[in-house]
Structure formats: structure tokens, C-alpha cells
Amino acid sequence: MTEHTIGTVEEFEENDRLLAEVKGREVGVFRVDGEYRAYLNWCNHQGGPICKGPLTGRRTATFDRDTLETEFEWTEEDGVLVCPWHGWEFSLDTGVNLSRSDITLPSFPVREEDGEIILSL
Amino acid sequence: MATQQTKASQLVVDADVHTAYRTPEIRQDIADRMDEPYRSWLLDDSDVYYSPYPLDSFPKQGESTTEDVVVHSPDAIERDLCEGFGVDVAILNSLQKLDLIPSRERAVQEMRAVNDMFVDRFLDDHEQFYGLAMLTTQKPDKTAEEIDRIASEDSFVGVMLANGDSDKPIGDPRYDAIFRAAEDNDMPVCFHSSSVGYANSRRFPFLYNDLQNYGELHMLAHPFAHITDVTSLIMNQTVEKFPDVEYVFLEQDLGIVPLLMYRLNRETVQNPSEVPLLDKAPEEYIREQFYWGTQPLPEPLNNQDLTAMIDLIGAENILFTSDHPHNDFDDPTSVIDRYLTRLSDEDVDKIMYENALDVFDIKL
Amino acid sequence: MFDDRPADVQELADAERTSDPSTVYDDVDSLPEWWRDLVYEFAERDLRPYRPSRLADDEIVYEVVRDLEERFDVQITVKSTVPGTDGEWKFVVDGATAIVTTHDRKAEGYTQYGVTSEELVDAVSTVASETS
């Protein structure tokens, strides 16, 4: 595995992500609750540039079988990454697809050290 | 020339057999179980039920409706279907179009009367006959009560909705009480539409009189109603709200199944916020909870294409159905001989009887 | 990273000329190792077949960048901080931006930047000479 410094912490002050191409592979780095996540910029669906997509939240629901009422809640604002091609949605924290739990965005180790963002490939 | 390998099935269970409901005698039998004024209204109906009621088949040989053919008595069914075509167990339904009754109160009362008549007339004293209780969707809470009521009758092995004419597609939350009752009572919910008086006969997108011929009507009517309701059950998350309910679709055409599985996979993965209760792909729900009747068997020019279709859908999800006595009937021997020869013996048995015995929990 | 690739994938790598695992390649084994490894990696992950990003004149980005790094003894980072499909991408040479361009993931399944190899070479050599 090789390490690559692709950016700095300062770049996350005004931006929600850092995208880079390293050795033929495109990666998107995001900051989630102070920790960094790096995902392949290639949607599992049809290879769209997922890491360029908008961020959104997640709608969860619970159903009460006795009252037949469904309660909805909007959570994880900006915690869901949406592919700009067909709208596939992935958790920014885990990389798991919101609809298909068996589909996960390929990810890579990434860390911050001395103010630098270091990606491992 | 190689001879076709013949297959046989040790048992045949037919999951779609109709009974008459509009002969004067049967109508009187139902009316006797109803209060006035509905009793008289039913008896006063003209020969065309809830007139204007379109005929359910264009005359081919002069006969025009189910009521004109011989399913008005269990003995007739036994003679023609069981002895005549080798069906061992028949799951009967009256296909009473209760949702076409404008008066909701009358629909509820007639629902109960129909089901009571059905047991007395067609099921009692006939060990090889089981029944699907007929339901209206017009007052879902009353429908749920009816499911609770008939569940204790052993000869009812499921409930039926004549789909396509409910106020909303069947997965609409207003109908949740029906599926909760079905789940509570372990009753499979069966769906059967109609070429006349239903989906594209009286509602969007086409009306009965817009179509030029019977083939147009028949092609569109059944599949359209079922595509709508399967989509509704998935996209309204009924399948997750009541995960133990099994759904049986009759006369739907096997060809709609890959469309529903794969297209709904796509619709949900692209808009997960619309279906937050679902935790599986639609295809998984369909493979686990949905069953499909064989009739009318699609007839590709190359029979092997039907085998491929059955493989896609899964033999474990398919039930033999005849649609007796309608004129697009499939008899069991022909089905096996002409269309199922390339399946394994195990898959033939699943389709011809095992799946139905399992879904309807029939112990012989 | 690829030392522990599954045995069947290794078998594929050692196999004769083949169109597997990517149906878009007639001969995977003739590709440069970095490219071939990514083809296999994407196949293992059940992704759409890997195609390398290229410049506006269809030169392969990684190979042009690697050559420039060797030639000018610099480190080149290809990056962006601006989301959205029209976001700007930069070729950064030892921390200094050499050129800003567009980034387009084509429907055909590869990325194309809006700068030619000639423009990139000029830009990198200019920055490299300024900082040396």
C-alpha cells in the first residue's frame, strides 16, 4: 500500500469534500463528524462520478401495527451522498447503499496527520 | 424424430376454479341471507348483474357469461373438472364483483352473504374443494372483520380481492386493516381481475367501449390490474408492514413477473426516501411472498422461451390454475405435455400441486 | 494491495489472451500493470469495467502525469474541492496550481479532462521552472 498526500485540513474549512485522481484511481474524501472517509469516485450502479454528487439526508420510518400509522423522520442531513447520474444514495459514514444493504461504495484508508490529508492505496 | 418425454404429476391442485353466482337459484340463496332493501335489489337486478354489466366474453359459440356454463353446482365442477380433467383438489372462488356495488353498505352485507352461501353450497361435504372468501374493499374495517369471521371456517384457505376496481390501488394505506387481518388469520390474499367491469373497462386508461375487439380488452385488463396492485403493495410498503402475508395472483400472465421484479428494483434503489420501511429489494419480497397462477399460459413461438421464463420467476412461486370454465382455460395435462416437459420432475410437482398445498396450508 | 487477490483472478492474470474479466478489453495482459490491476480490482468489486481517465486529446492521464513527474522531478496532484458536475479540477505541481480545467465522466465510462496533453505539459513545465 502506498500513501499519498492529497490535500490539507484547511481545504475542508470551506468545502465539504476533496476529490483527487491518484495512480489512475479517482477518490473522494469527506469529513464525517470530524473523521475522514475516502470513497472511489465510481458508483456501483453504472460507474457514475458519485463523489461529485449532492449531499442529502435520510428518511426513516416506523410503522405501528396497532394504529396502522406510519411516522417519518428526516435524519442525517448532509450524511447521504447522491450519485448525480441515477440518484443512487449511499451513507457517507459507512458507504452502504440506502436501498440495498449488500452494496457498498469501495473505500480506502484515509487519515489526517499534521494538517495533511493522507490517502492509502 | 425424438418423441416428447411425457411427464405426469402424482397430484394436481388447481388454484383457480370459478363458480357461478348469478343463476336465479344462487342469487336467491344469497338474497335469503340478506336484509331488505338489499335483498329485493339483488333479486330485482336484471340478468346482467348490476346493470349495465358488460358480458364477460364476446360470444364465441353463442354462450356469453360464466353463468351460462356449468359451474353452478359442486357436482358439475366435480364432473367436468375433477373427473373430466384430472384435477384432484380445486380451490374455488366466486369472483363476485363486490366493489362494483355502488352502495357500500350493501357490498358489506352481500360479502357476508356470499361467503356463507359459498360454504353451504360449494364447500361443505366436498373434501376436494376448498374456497377463497370473497372480499370487498369498500369498507376496509368491515372487510377485516369478515376475514376474522370466516377464518374459523376450515374450508376457506384464503381470501380473494377482485382487483382493479378498488377506490385506490390496493397498497394504499387505507387498506392496511385488510392485510393486518389476513396476517393475523394466516390467510393468503389472492387477486383476480376481470376482462369486464374492472380496471381498464371502467377506469383509466381505457374504457370498455374504447377497445375494438376482445383481444385488446383481454390482453390489457388482467395484466394491467395486477401490475398496478403489485406495484402498489411494494411501493406502499404493505409487504414490509405485514411481512407474513402471502399474495397469490391469478390470471395475471407470468410475463408481468420479471417486469415487476426488475423494474421495481430500479424504482426503489433510485428513490429510497419513498420507501423507508423496505429493507429488501422488491425482487426479494416478490420471490419470498408472491405466487403466480399459470393461466393463461403465455405462448411463445418457441416453447423453450417459456421454460426460460419459469426459470427466471422460479418454479417455487408458480401455481397451476385452469380458470375453469372460461374459454381461455388451460387443462393440466396439456400444460404438462406442451409446456413443462423441460422442467425437472421436482419443478413440475411444485407447480402442479406442492406450492398450492403449501401456500394454502392444505393437508391431504 | 493486490498481493492477496483471489486465486481465480490470479489465474486470469496468468491466462492467455482473453476478453475476460472486462469485455471491453481484447487483451488485458497487454495492458500496463497499473491499468491491468485496476481492471481486475474493478471486476472483483463487480463494478462497471475500469477505463482510465484521459486528457482532451485522449492521452491517458496517469501516464502523462507520471512522465511529467519524472521529467521535472515534481509531484503532481490532480484534485478538486468543488462539488457538482461542473466543478473545477486542478493539476497542482508541488503545491502550486499549474492549470484549472473541467472534469467530465462520460457515459462511455471514463473521465475526460478539458486540457490536452500539450497544454498540460506547457503548464507543468512553466510552474516547474518557476519553482526550481
pLDDT single digits (tens) B108-154: 999 999 999 999 999 999 999 999 999 999 999 999 999 999 999 99
Of the candidates B286, B248, B254, B22, the one whose C-alpha atom is nearest the C-alpha of residue B157 is: B248
Interface of B with A in 254-313 (CB under 8 A): 268-273, 275-279, 281
The answer to whether C66 and C82 are in contact (CB under 8 A) is: no
- Which pLDDT belongs to residue A15? 85
* B259: nearest Cα among B236, B285, B230, B302: B230
**CA-to-CA distance for B55 and B196, rounded, in angstroms?**
7
* Of residues B331, B319, B100, B317, the one with CA closest to residue B194: B100
Residue A64 lies in a domain: no
Q: In the prediction, which pLDDT does B69 show?
A: 58
What's the whole-number mean pLDDT along residues B6-22?
85
What is the per-residue pLDDT for C130? 84
**A106 contact residues in C (CB cutoff 8 A):** 45, 47
Residue in C45, C79, C84 closest to A6 by CB: C79
Q: Does A47 touch chain C (CB under 8 A)?
A: yes
Class of domain B13-359: alpha beta
Chains A, C: CB contacts within 8 A come to: 75
Question: CB-based contact (8 Å) between A106 and chain C?
Answer: yes
Instruction: Report if residue A111 sits inside a domain.
Output: yes
- The domain limits of chain B are 13-359
pTM of the model: 0.82
d(CA A71, CA B241) in angstroms, rounded, equals 13
Q: Which residues in chain C are closer than 8 Å to A53, comparing Cβ atoms? A: 83
C-alpha span between B336 and B322 (Å, rounded): 12
Chain A CB contacts of B239 below 8 Å: none
Q: Write the CB contacts of C130 (distance below 8 Å, at least 6 apart in sequence).
A: C96
ipTM over 0.85 threshold: yes
- Looking at CA atoms only, how far is residue B37 from chain A in angstroms? 34
Across the interface, whether the CB atoms of C111 and A49 are under 8 A apart is answered yes
* CB within 8 Å of A47: residues ≥ 6 apart: C47, C48, C105, C109
Scan residues 160-199 of B and list those with Cβ closer than 8 Å to A.
173, 176-177, 180
Instruction: Give a yes or no: residue A72 inside a domain.
Output: no
Helix (H) or strand (E) holding C96: strand C96-101
Q: Phi and psi of B215, rounded to 5°?
A: -60, -40
Q: Determine what percent of chain A falls in helix, strand and coil, rounding each to the nearest 5.
A: 5, 55, 40
Q: What sign does the CA torsion over B305, B311, B317, B318 have? A: positive
Task: Give the structural domain span for A32.
Answer: 3-54+82-120
Look at residue B60 in the predicted model and tell me its pLDDT: 35
Is A48 among the domain residues? yes
Interface with A, mutate which of B141, B273, B274, B278 (most A CBs under 10 A)? B273
Q: Which residue of A has its CA nearest to C110?
A: A47
B241/A58 CB distance under 8 A? no
pLDDT at B206 over 80: no
Compute the average pLDDT of residues B60-78.
63
What three-state secondary structure class fits B85? Answer: helix
pLDDT of residue B180 exceeding 80: yes
Chosen from C105, C108, C115, C120 to mutate, greatest number of chain A CBs within 10 A: C105
**A68 to B279: CB separation less than 8 angstroms, yes or no:** no
CB-CB neighbors (< 8 A) of A100 in chain B: 269, 281
Residue A75 lies in a domain: no
Which residue in B161, B218, B159 sits closest to B191, CA to CA?
B161
> If 0-12 CB within 10 Å is exposed, 13-18 middle and 19+ buried, where does residue B215 land?
exposed
- CA B292, CA B359: separation in Å to the nearest integer? 11
Using a threshold of 3 CB pairs under 8 A, tell whether chains B and A touch.
Answer: yes
Distance in angstroms (rounded) separating the CA atoms of residues B276 and A89: 12
**Cell numbers linked to B151:** 377464518
What pLDDT, on the 0 to 100 scale, is given for residue A23?
94
Say yes or no for a CB contact (<8 Å) between B241 and A65: yes
pLDDT at C1: 36
Look at B72 and C53; give whichever has higher pLDDT.
Answer: C53
User: Which of A57-66, B100-109, B150-159, B260-269 bottoms out in mean pLDDT, i.e. has the lowest?
Assistant: B100-109
Contact by Cβ (8 Å): B115, B133:
yes
Cα(B170)–Cα(A79) distance, integer angstroms = 34
Average pLDDT over residues C85-114: 91
Q: Which residues pair with B107 in a beta bridge?
A: none
User: Is the Cβ–Cβ distance between B271 and B292 less than 8 Å?
Assistant: no
- What type of residue sits at position C78? V
- Output the tens digit of pLDDT for each of chain A's 121 residues: 899 999 999 998 888 899 999 999 999 999 998 999 999 999 999 999 999 999 999 999 999 999 999 999 999 999 999 999 999 999 999 999 999 999 999 999 999 999 999 999 9
Using CA coordinates, name the residue in chain C closest to A43: C47
- Number of independent structural domains in chain A: 1
Closest approach of C15 to chain A, Cα-based (Å): 24
Under 8 Å between Cβ of B302 and B262 = no
Q: Does A1 sit within 8 Å of C52, measured CB to CB?
A: no
Kindly tell me if the per-residue pLDDT of B52 is higher than 80: no
| Lookup: cell for C16 | 492467455
Asked whether residue A63 is assigned to any structural domain, the reply reads no
Percent of chain B with pLDDT over 70: 86
Choice between B92 and B212, residue whose per-residue pLDDT is larger: B92
Cβ–Cβ below 8 Å for B281 and A72: no
Q: Under an 8 A CB cutoff, do A87 and B281 touch? A: no
pLDDT, tens only, B162-177? 887 788 899 999 999 9
Q: Rounded to the nearest 10 degrees, how much is the dihedral formed by the CA atoms of A53, A99, B271, B178?
A: -170
Residue A15: give its domain's CATH number.
2.102.10.10
Domain segments of chain C: what residues?
7-44, 61-131
- Test mutation, B270, B271, B283, B284, chain A, max A CBs within 10 A: B270
Please report, for residues B45, B101, B167, the alpha-carbon distance to residue B104 in angstroms, rounded to integers and kept in the order given: 17, 7, 12
Cα separation, B222 vs B251, whole angstroms: 7
Residue environment code for B234-255, b if the CB has 16+ CB neighbours within 10 A, otherwise e = bbbbbbbbbeebbbbbbbbbbe
**Confidence at residue B100, expressed as pLDDT on a 0 to 100 scale:** 84
C103/C107 Cα distance (integer angstroms): 13
Q: Is a pLDDT exceeding 70 seen at residue B57?
A: no
Instruction: Find, in chain A, the residue whose alpha carbon is nearest to that of B278.
Output: A99
Instruction: Quote the CA–CA distance of C125 and C30 in Å, as a whole number.
Output: 31
Confidence of residue B48 (pLDDT cuts 50, 70, 90): very low
Is A99 within 8 Å of B278 when comparing Cβ atoms? yes
Amino acid at site B335: V
Q: How much is the pLDDT for C57?
A: 95
Q: What is the pLDDT of residue B90?
A: 96
Contact B272 A70 (CB under 8 A): no
* 3 state DSSP class of A114: coil
| Site of grid cell 363458480 | B19
* C-chain residues near A15 (CB < 8 A): 81-83
Helix, coil or strand: residue B61: coil
pLDDT value at residue B39: 83
Q: How far apart are CA C3 and CA C60, in angstroms?
A: 25
Output the average pLDDT for chain B: 86
**Which residues of chain C have a CB within 8 Å of the CB of A23?**
34, 62
**Which triple of cell numbers denotes residue B134?**
370473497
Measured distance CA(B230)–CA(B237) in Å, rounded: 11
Nearest chain A residue (CA) to C90: A20
> Residue B16's pLDDT is what?
93
SS3 C80: strand
CA atoms of B342 and B339, how far apart (whole Å): 8
| pLDDT score recorded for residue A121 | 92
pLDDT digits (tens, 9 = 90+) for B207-262: 656 777 777 777 888 898 899 999 999 999 999 999 999 999 999 999 999 999 99
The least confident of A93-107, B1-15, B77-91 is: B1-15
Q: Is A61 on the interface with C (CB under 8 A)?
A: no
Report chain C residues whose CB lies below 8 A from the CB of A21: 53, 61-62, 78-79, 111
